[in-house]
Amino acid sequence: MIKVDIYNVTDLMTNCCYLVDESTGKSAVVDPGDKSEKLNSRIDADGGRLEYVILTHGHYDHISYAKQLAEKYGAKIVTGRLNNEFLSKPMLNLSAYHGVSLEPFSADILLDDNDTFLLGDTKITYITTPGHTSGCGSYIFDDTIITGDTLFCESYGRTDLPTGDSQQILQSIKKLKNLDGDYKIIPGHGQLSTLSHERKYNPIMRTL
């Protein structure tokens, strides 16, 4: 089982998730869009056992502190295979448009659809959910899905940025809708939700 705490980072209030496998104490951070002293202090207090820096997609507000965080704790950067090019291209990660200085980097572990990996004793499954960008993906573990900017509470990610695709995001939302059972949803921004709530109240998901 993984315990999740959320730290809001960046001016866009990105939901940066701190994951701790309860049986082993090994940890991961998802989408560190900026440095958080509170988060770093928490990692230190937990013994600095950061295994992974995990990225849902490649926009600057989700990746800007990934390289530094991974280097600080000797962690591996994990993301979807199609997202890797975003980490080194300012026009794709949008840093070029927002005056953000972002040193190019590359992930250590590249995932394809339905690949799995372990955080301690807990399995995490990666699924591709493109549309907001071509490299978007979601992470499933226990009763939780981290959806990045694909699915929000009663909404979904914009598709008018580079590599965005409105038809792809509909298919991705349908893919999430069709998962068996219910899950807690942690989006890239905003309030948390559940898959059952989204099936009932999300205006796009209801039509699929």
d(CA 194, CA 201): 10
Are 55 and 32 contacting, i.e. CB atoms less than 8 angstroms apart?
Answer: no
CA distance 208 to 197: 15
The answer to whether 46 touches 59, Cβ cutoff 8 Å, is no
Task: List, in order of start, the domains of the chain with CATH numbers.
Answer: 2-207 (3.60.15.10)
Consecutive H or E run containing 53: strand 50-54
The number of helix segments (H) and strand segments (E) in the chain equals 6, 14
- Return d(Cα 185, Cα 177) in angstroms, integer: 12
* pLDDT for the residue numbered 99: 84
Q: What is the pLDDT of residue 188?
A: 98
Q: What is the CA radius of gyration of the chain?
A: 16
DSSP 152: E
Separation CA 64–CA 58 (nearest Å): 9
* Pick from 157, 121, 145, 120: nearest CA to 195: 145
pLDDT at residue 27, as a whole number: 98
Contact by Cβ (8 Å): 157, 132: yes
The predicted structure's pLDDT at residue 9: 96
Q: Which helix (H) or strand (E) holds 69?
A: helix 66-73
Cβ atoms of residues 194 and 181 within 8 Å: no
User: For each of the chain's 208 residues, which pLDDT tens digit applies?
Assistant: 999 999 999 888 999 999 999 999 999 999 999 999 999 999 999 999 999 999 999 999 999 999 999 999 999 999 999 999 999 999 999 999 888 889 999 999 999 999 999 999 999 999 999 999 999 999 999 999 999 999 999 999 999 999 999 999 999 999 999 999 999 999 999 999 999 999 999 999 999 9
Q: What is the pLDDT of residue 100?
A: 87
